[in-house]
């Protein structure tokens, strides 16, 4: 984790992908209330505030570089929902 702590140090805690949102909530105060705004404190990030869900998605897409491959054509997508739309409606190799 490359989150900058209040003392200016990096978190540096190893976190497995699926545990990441829990890590942000438990260690860095990215709390459950979806309407609260949080600033991205990832090392080198200059973007403004996000609500919880958008912040977690931002970190996964921009900093952790998560990608979702289409199971048929293997095209990569930054969002799972976009991949699912592609897979179900647009992929020329989809199963009908």
Does residue 73 carry a pLDDT above 90?
Answer: yes
Q: What is the pLDDT of residues 18-66, one digit of tens each?
A: 788 899 989 998 876 767 888 999 999 987 789 888 898 899 889 989 8
pLDDT score of 47: 78
pLDDT score of 68: 95
CA distances from 11 to 41, 42, 50, 95 (A): 10, 10, 20, 44
Report the DSSP pairing between strands 37-39 and 68-69: unpaired
pLDDT score of 20: 87
Domain borders along the chain are 17-63, 67-96
């Amino acid at each position: 984790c490359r989150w900058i702590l209040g003392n200016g140090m990096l978190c540096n805690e190893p976190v497995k992908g699926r545990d990441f949102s829990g890590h942000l909530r438990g260690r860095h105060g990215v709390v459950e209330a979806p309407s609260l705004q949080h600033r991205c404190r990832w090392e080198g990030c200059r973007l403004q505030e996000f609500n919880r869900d958008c912040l977690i998605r931002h970190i996964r897409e921009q900093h952790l570089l998560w990608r979702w491959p289409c199971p048929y054509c293997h095209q990569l997508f930054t969002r799972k929902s976009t991949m699912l739309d592609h897979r179900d409606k647009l992929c020329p190799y989809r199963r009908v």
